[in-house]
Chains A and B, each alone.
Chain A
């Protein structure tokens, strides 16, 4: 029954009409430019007030929550091996401002954000979230990188937190996790899984010693 997921190939910068056509669970491959940015970059730009190292609006509108497995060669060139995403929910507090500063329309990462974030932050910014698969398909994503255009702030932030500007071709697979209406594939799937959880716990009494703040609501999530 698998193999039926719809595949979509998108060019960056991604256009609004392309985003509008995306449906939850579509498999996406990207061509063009993307850049990495996570807490190191967000802190510098949004908290310390530094300008982004280049004009992001002119560059591309795809921000990848990622640290590549990369090294710098003696001649200053880069060797990028595997590429996987890092969990995005930790960056939630920076995103409203980041959308304003960067003009990003696509966030690629691991695990998505909460549906509440999509509704209140992504929808007004007309942005969607694409999740990496696995996790993670580090070698497949690494194959999709044609060239490293730049590695900004490498000396200050290190390989993991630097802003890598990457030229990509058939970069994927990625899954559409949120659409322009702010729906979340993960939360939709969670609601189905949650229905079966009470049955699993039947007859298993709570432990003698509770943990402070502990909840028995199995619909809850760890993120957000």
Chain B
């Protein structure tokens, strides 16, 4: 791909960021909806089944009325993936500015709940914008001239935990901490399950927390990690979660985990840090891809974890590596 002279307009960035805020807030993604429908059909706990049916009605009501599906906006945040050949008018500073403007505007116009306050003074700007808010995380993609903007609205209080495990704890340690988290936060439905459970394994402590959140929020129901060993563990953990005996709102049932996603990072040779995250009954995510010719395409699969992002080698030359095999 040649370097294009055309740059992505800053206005388009704001439009895309605004649109994904609105879509995420109102439209439940099809992959998650399908997962909840399947659970509603098989759930045998009467209370848990009632909750799932109420949620299915709620998704419909949100779309019909064009109102947010959940009043808890969570802590809205953004994920930006830059094509290596992409250019944006005004540069990355303009991108961040436009994202902040779109966040404030969408908060007022949808409306979304202005959740973000100063942690000590509790000052609320009433627009979900403030110091370090919304967070913006970045990744890059080779041979691409587009920019992807994803937003995720995930609750911020319950359903997430972190623990430093060690190699001696092994897979058993992973299963145990996973169960600890789901049982503890599943009671009374604090985790707003059934959830897409994301697990971050490895990296540094903070990396494991970031990876786990991305695994929960940036992959779709049914998606499997390309590493067969990790994919098998994802399916096993999903099964274990649904055999706890707990369903929606912590009522007796089987609907706990819509899917389980694991992401890994190389870690300290002596450790195995792990995080668990529950993306809730209002799993809100939406992505826009901006092209240099002005087009904006919308989707619900962020396509965040690309082969490039998960690379294991010093050099990135996928074509050559395949040829050598």
6 smallest beta-carbon distances between A and B, as pairs = A158-B124, A2-B49, A71-B111, A139-B62, A82-B68, A84-B71
B200 to chain A, nearest CB (A): 17
Q: Is A135 an interface residue (CB 8 A)?
A: yes
Q: A-facing mask of B80-106, CB < 8 A → 1, else 0?
A: 000000000000000000000000000
Q: Contact at A134–B175, with CB atoms within 8 Å?
A: no
Residue total for B at the interface (Cβ-Cβ under 8 A): 71
In the bound assembly, the distance between CA atoms of A173 and B244 in angstroms comes to: 26
Pick the residue among B44, B59, B72, B165 that contacts A86 (CB under 8 A).
B72
Q: A-facing mask of B166-177, CB < 8 A → 1, else 0?
A: 101100110111
Would A209 and B166 be within 8 Å (CB), given that A69-B73, A86-B72 are in contact? Answer: yes
Q: What B residues does A4 contact at CB under 8 A?
A: 46
Q: Contact at A82–B114, with CB atoms within 8 Å?
A: no
In the bound assembly, the distance between CA atoms of A67 and B3 in angstroms comes to: 48
Q: Is A111 an interface residue (CB 8 A)?
A: yes
A6 to chain B, nearest CB (A): 11
Residue of A142, A189, A190 most packed against chain B (CB within 10 A): A189
Q: Is A180 an interface residue (CB 8 A)?
A: no
> Total A-B residue pairs with C-beta atoms closer than 8 Å?
213
Pick the residue among A2, A83, A204 that contacts B71 (CB under 8 A).
A83
Q: Contact at A84–B117, with CB atoms within 8 Å?
A: no
Q: What A residues does B188 contact at CB under 8 A?
A: 111-112, 186, 190, 221, 223
Q: What B residues does A218 contact at CB under 8 A?
A: 183
A47 to chain B, nearest CB (A): 14
A71 to chain B, nearest CB (A): 4
Q: Is B7 an interface residue (CB 8 A)?
A: no
The residue of chain A having its C-beta at the shortest distance from the C-beta of B158 within the complex is: A87
Q: Contact at B187–A159, with CB atoms within 8 Å?
A: no
Q: Contact at A207–B71, with CB atoms within 8 Å?
A: no
Pick the residue among A134, A161, A196, A200 that contacts B240 (CB under 8 A).
A200
Q: Is B139 an interface residue (CB 8 A)?
A: no
Q: Contact at A138–B281, with CB atoms within 8 Å?
A: no
Pick the residue among A70, A86, A143, A208 that contacts B169 (CB under 8 A).
A208
Pick the residue among A111, A192, A205 that contacts B172 (CB under 8 A).
A205
Would A204 and B187 be within 8 Å (CB), given that A71-B108, A135-B281, A142-B71 are in contact? Answer: no
Q: Contact at B169–A207, with CB atoms within 8 Å?
A: yes
Pick the residue among B58, B109, B157, B168 that contacts A134 (CB under 8 A).
B58
Q: Is B126 an interface residue (CB 8 A)?
A: yes
Q: Contact at B54–A138, with CB atoms within 8 Å?
A: no
Would A192 and B252 be within 8 Å (CB), given that A84-B70, A208-B166 are in contact? Answer: yes
Q: Is A58 an interface residue (CB 8 A)?
A: no
In the bound assembly, the distance between CA atoms of A158 and B22 in angstroms comes to: 22
The residue of chain B having its C-beta at the shortest distance from the C-beta of A197 within the complex is: B183
Q: Within B115-171, which residues are at the interface with A (CB < 8 Å)?
A: 115, 117, 122, 124, 126, 157-158, 163-166, 168-169
In the bound assembly, the distance between CA atoms of A173 and B52 in angstroms comes to: 12
Q: Contact at B246–A81, with CB atoms within 8 Å?
A: no
Q: Is B55 an interface residue (CB 8 A)?
A: yes
Q: Is A133 an interface residue (CB 8 A)?
A: yes
In the bound assembly, the distance between CA atoms of A197 and B71 in angstroms comes to: 33
Q: Contact at B248–A134, with CB atoms within 8 Å?
A: yes
Q: Within B190-227, which residues are at the interface with A (CB < 8 Å)?
A: 190, 192
Would A138 and B169 be within 8 Å (CB), given that A87-B158, A192-B252, A207-B163 are in contact? Answer: no
The residue of chain B having its C-beta at the shortest distance from the C-beta of A172 within the complex is: B54
In the bound assembly, the distance between CA atoms of A11 and B280 in angstroms comes to: 32
Q: Within A123-152, which residues are at the interface with B (CB < 8 Å)?
A: 131, 133-143
Q: What B residues does A209 contact at CB under 8 A?
A: 164-166
B183 to chain A, nearest CB (A): 6
Q: Is A79 an interface residue (CB 8 A)?
A: yes
Q: What B residues does A173 contact at CB under 8 A?
A: 50, 54
Would A139 and B190 be within 8 Å (CB), given that A71-B109, A87-B158, A201-B176 are in contact? Answer: no
Would A134 and B62 be within 8 Å (CB), given that A66-B71, A82-B67, A197-B183 are in contact? Answer: no
Q: What B residues does A40 contact at CB under 8 A?
A: 122
Would A193 and B54 be within 8 Å (CB), given that A81-B112, A223-B188 are in contact? Answer: no
In the bound assembly, the distance between CA atoms of A82 and B47 in angstroms comes to: 23
Q: What A residues does B71 contact at CB under 8 A?
A: 66-69, 81-84, 136, 138, 141-142
Q: Is A213 an interface residue (CB 8 A)?
A: no
